[in-house]
Amino acid sequence: MDKIYAEEKRLEHEARKMERKMQRHNQKAIEKKADYAEKVKKGQMPKEFAQERSRALDDKSQSQAKALADKKAAIAEQLQKMRDDLTKKMQNAPIIDLEEIKKQATDLCQWLTGKQEPEFDPIDKTKVPGQDKMESSDDPDSEEDD
């Protein structure tokens, strides 16, 4: 869950960053267009050249807006896929038996306080229930005394 939240925040940050970049570009484009208009008025730039440059700025703005919209759509799709995967994993997760955990915790507390003898000696690995199911070759530190 935390992984999805972190990824969601990262993707949202990336989208905001792209928006800010596009806003800066649009602001610069407006300033450039105003500068072109002023140069045309002063006779420093031909009108056709200024119009061509303005059209190029507009085209670039439109392409950036389309790229931003595509990026946002991809982010939304990716987040939805992550949420769906998490939902699927949660549905397939094993059910935790709280009563069993509570009983084990109570037994452990009683054992720690000395009110109950443990079912097995935690120091002696040979008496651990279920150890006979484990392969002894997996644990090179375990020693068997026969």
Query: 62-85 pLDDT, tens per residue?
Result: 898 898 888 888 888 888 888 888
pLDDT at res. 31:
92
One domain, residues 32 and 104: no
One domain, residues 25 and 75: yes
CA distance 12 to 76: 9
Question: Which one of 92, 109, 125 terminates a domain?
Answer: 92
In a domain, 146, yes or no: no
Using a pLDDT cut of 90, give the percent of the chain over it: 5
Rounded to the nearest 10°, the torsion over CA 120, 125, 144, 146 is: -10
In a domain, 141, yes or no: no
**Backbone dihedral region for residue 43 (phi beyond 0: left; psi -120 to 50: alpha; all else: beta):** left
One domain, residues 82 and 112: no
One domain, residues 28 and 72: yes
Total count of domains within the chain? 2
One domain, residues 118 and 82: no
CA distance 117 to 109: 11
For 126-141, the pLDDT digits (tens) are 544 555 544 444 555 5
The domain of 114 spans: 98-133
One domain, residues 105 and 71: no
The answer to whether 83 touches 4, Cβ cutoff 8 Å, is: yes
In a domain, 143, yes or no: no
One domain, residues 79 and 14: yes
Cβ neighbours of 36 (radius 10 Å):
20
In a domain, 144, yes or no: no
One domain, residues 64 and 108: no
